[in-house]
Amino acid sequence: MVNLNPLNLISGSFRHGVHPQHLKVQTQDLPIQRVPFGSNYVMPLGQHIGVPCKPIVKKGQRVRRGEEIASASGFVSIALHSPVTGVVKEIGEFRTFDGNFSQAIEIEADAFSTQEPNIGPAIDWESMNIEQFIQAVQGAGIVGMGGAAFPAHVKFSIPEGQQIRYLLINGAECEPYLTNDHRLMLERPDALLKGAEIVRQKLGAEETVIGVELNKPEAIEALQARIQPGDPVRVVSLEAKYPQGAEKMIIKTVFGREVPAGQLPRDVEVNVNNVSTVVAIADYFDHGMPLIERIVTVSGPGVSYPANLIVPLGTPVREVLKFCGGLKDETMEVIMGGPMMGRPIASLDAPVVKGCSGILAFTEGQTLKRKEFPCIRCGRCVEACPYFLNPARFARLSRARMFGEMKGYFVFDCVECGCCAFACPSSIPIVQLIRTGKDQLRNTQASEK
Amino acid sequence: MKQRDPELLLQHAPFLRQGMTTPTAMGDVLIALTPATLAGLWYFGISAVLVIGASIAGAVLTEISFSGTERRGESLLDGSGLLTGLLLGLTLPPGLPMWMAFLGGVIALGLGKVIWGGLGNNLFNPALVGRAFLLATFPIAMTTWTTPDEAFWTFRATNFDIPFTYTEIDGLTAATPLGLMKFDQQATPLSNLFMGSTSGSLGETSGLLLILGGIYLYFRRDLDWRIPVSILLTVLVFSAILGLFDSERFPAPLFSVFSGGLLLGAIYMATDPVTSPTTPVGTWIFGIGIGLLIVLIRVFGGMPEGVMYAILLMNAATPLIDRFTQPRVFGHLRGDND
């Protein structure tokens, strides 16, 4: 169904999209550092997309680093583990980064807890069948680490009659500022290739393709240097263009094929995983380490000392920023994730979660307070939208509260990548208006049922 | 929305924007038109200042008086009223009475833009609406062309006609290159057309400066290159085809491109984003349509010039063109859209 044809890459990447400044120089040459343990860790039960997990520990109970503290409740759910050795201090409502409250487990760290990477013995993955493998990944609490935090094992369960031909490892990292995947490819290429090989064998895919944007030549080199001739792995370089790392876009770029609307990559025989996800898988099978820490890029003009950090999950954002010299006085805004699709952080006391690829602080100059002007139908959003939708029309319909019409123009195909709002010279909040329309449509659909 | 501890803004992604804003885009067009405007002043002297000034005054005053108090500052800030006034002024003959130019500006903004709901909502190019009104109402004044070779400080008497009067002048008029071609089958040398030393409206005389401004706009990414390119190519090809039939009667292709308001219209008026299609295929159709209409009106119509009506007619077709040229949505089959 899909073919890896070198012509795909010569003919260029997916069409449309935008070219924001890369802004990665601040952190791209900084080696990954570990953040030392603090005193308290808060682990929200709903860090992933899907059903929140169920606590299996009690208040006052001692837990070890890497010990399961909440188990998956259902298939689209994952386990949660303690990032630190210590005592369960509280199970209750805690503030999350978006300002809401969520059920979470708070752990008071033991003063002598260490960040030993070898948590358990290596796990024999070769003798596992696919069901056991899926269960293991679910039990390790691994999510897609690109930002959406969708449970990784769900993608690995392929319905009968379908097969995976290519495993596509996504190292595009198209969001400006972020360099966590870049550093990971550079510093841990062996773990990356190991994790990719595990997934490839378990899925029965023919070949692994690692896609990396051209603005990371060192990463491409580091990976290529470790690939032996005859290995079923190859690295392809991709044009640096946003949103190259969006799942359907990278498939279009590498294989020249569109995933039909409403379908999944597996319908075109491809499985896509972020580089950090396969490294997390390798860490689990090699060192028994579940997902209890992740690499976070701390950057932006509001941060005193930008860095790439290994942060134990549950660390308050404030502690991470303190490790980087704190926020500058003129900081106006702190966000989680990249600047194109990230979300604003309402409370700095909220913990770092599994989907947090970056913590960025912006000062007044970068914070958008641009004046909105009427739409002049310039069509820049139309030429930016990688899905070939008409964002200006969505914005107009949403303002007129004509949500039904929006559905007819495929508003649910929109992935909210932000290209349209980035390109708009009139500073119209197009993504917000589209989200409003989607929410209203979902509400009416729910009330009709 | 601010939050204590510390005071954090909570805004929506994306947190980055490209640098261009709507007022800078308007400003770019003003900059691009500056050389051609200065050339108009050079050739037609103080009269050009009076005519352009009056039309800008009419446009901007109308914009102000019809904007709500809240929007008043904004609508001035975006520069679109000023641009409409300037574009209208550039299409007017230098000897036009100032009161007519002022009235043209009022109609351009009032009937061309304000009644549609302001910037971004109008169907027709406002400057051309104003010009169409003037041409229909004052056909003689609008087609009396004075020669560009008077001294700078010579006032053209007609400029100062008091409102609702018009003095017909006897001497010092000259036919435009298009008029000469149409009525006398007499071609003007291309070099004169290129540099601008012909009679005509204020802004249309120098092809070179208009093209330079267009190139500037292209590099500032303010201009959809497909529109001027498709108009020019269509006019060239269609004129060449007509020339095969009768090279005496029909004007030569290059003459067609450089004469009259074609470059001014193709580069600065047809490309008005508000009144042109947003889809790439649509802009090609739009440009080709304008090119065909220009040649048809010029060759077979009663007037020597056809750019204005060609653009206005295609403006009317824009919503339909947009509707039928929507691209296929990613991951859908062609035809799913309907």
| Residue A171 φ/ψ, nearest 5 degrees | -115, 30
Distance, in Å, from the CA atom of A48 to the CA atom of A100, rounded to the nearest integer, reads 15
Residue reference for tokens 């997309």: A49
Interface test with A, best of B26, B318, B330 (most A CBs within 10 A): B330
Q: Which residues of B touch A388 (CB under 8 A)?
A: 327-330
Look at residues B128, B129, B99, B123 and name the one whose alpha carbon lies nearest to residue B111: B129
- Nearest Cα neighbor of B239 from B223, B250, B228 is B250
Of B24, B119, B329, the CB nearest to A387: B329
Half-sphere exposure of A130 (CA within 13 A, CB side): 16
Is A377's CB within 8 Å of B120's CB?
yes
Predicted confidence at residue B208, as pLDDT, reads 86
Residues of chain A with CATH 3.40.50.11540: 6-29+134-287
Contact A426 B331 (CB under 8 A): no
Task: Test A345 with B23 for CB contact under 8 angstroms.
Answer: no
Note whether B9 contacts A367, CB cutoff 8 Å.
yes
**Residues of chain B that touch chain A, judged by Cβ-Cβ distance less than 8 Å:** 3, 5-18, 20-25, 74, 77-78, 118-121, 224, 273-274, 276-280, 326-332, 337
A271 DSSP assignment: E
Cβ-contact B84, B56 below 8 angstroms: no
- Is A342 touching B (CB cutoff 8 A)? yes
Chain B contacts in chain A segment 88-107 (CB below 8 A)? 99
Coil, helix or strand for B311?
helix
Cα–Cα distance, A383 to B283 (Å, whole number): 13
pLDDT tens by residue, chain B, 338 residues: 334 456 788 888 898 888 888 888 899 999 999 998 998 888 888 888 899 999 999 999 998 888 776 666 666 777 888 999 999 999 998 888 999 999 999 999 999 999 998 888 999 999 999 999 999 999 888 888 777 666 666 677 677 777 777 777 655 566 777 777 777 667 777 777 766 667 778 777 678 889 999 999 999 888 889 999 999 999 999 999 988 887 777 778 888 888 878 999 999 999 999 999 998 899 999 999 999 999 999 888 877 778 999 999 999 999 999 999 988 999 988 766 55
Cross-chain residue pair B17–A370, CB shorter than 8 Å: yes
User: Which among B14, B120, B331 is the nearest to A375, CB-wise?
Assistant: B120
**Cα-based torsion angle of the residue sequence B95, B97, B103, B106 in order, rounded to the nearest 10 degrees:** 50
Given a cut of 50, the residues of chain A with pLDDT beneath it are none
A-chain residues near B18 (CB < 8 A)? 18, 20, 422-423, 425
Q: Look at residue B2 in the predicted model and tell me its pLDDT.
A: 39
Q: Looking at residue A323, what is its pLDDT?
A: 94
Question: By the 8 A CB rule, do A344 and B8 touch?
Answer: yes
Query: CA A269, CA A251: separation in Å to the nearest integer?
Result: 10
CA–CA dist A431, A385 (Å, integer): 12
**Contact between chains at B14 and A431 (C-beta distance less than 8 A):** yes
Which pLDDT value is given to residue B3?
40
- Residues 383-442, chain A: which have Cβ within 8 Å of B? 383, 386-390, 392, 409-410, 413, 416, 418, 421-427, 429, 431-432
What pLDDT sits at residue B23?
87
Q: Tell me, what amino acid is at A445?
A: Q
Domains of chain B by residue range: 22-323
The architecture CATH gives domain A6-29+134-287? 3-Layer(aba) Sandwich (3.40)
Contact flag B332-A421 (C-beta cutoff 8 Å): no
Q: Which residues of A touch B119 (CB under 8 A)?
A: 373-374, 376
Q: Where are the alpha helices (DSSP H) in B205-306?
A: 207-219, 226-245, 253-258, 262-264, 280-300
pLDDT score of B8: 81
Best residue of A340, A373, A432, A435 to probe chain B, by most B CBs closer than 10 Å: A373
CA-closest candidate to residue A411, choices A384, A388, A389: A389
Q: Which CATH topology does B22-323 take?
A: Ammonium transporter fold (1.10.3430)
Do residues A199 and A133 touch, judged by C-beta distance below 8 A? no
Q: What's the number of CA atoms in the CB half-sphere (13 Å) around residue B249?
A: 8
Instruction: Specify the pLDDT at position B170.
Output: 55
User: Which chain A residue has its CA at the smallest distance from B278's CA?
Assistant: A379
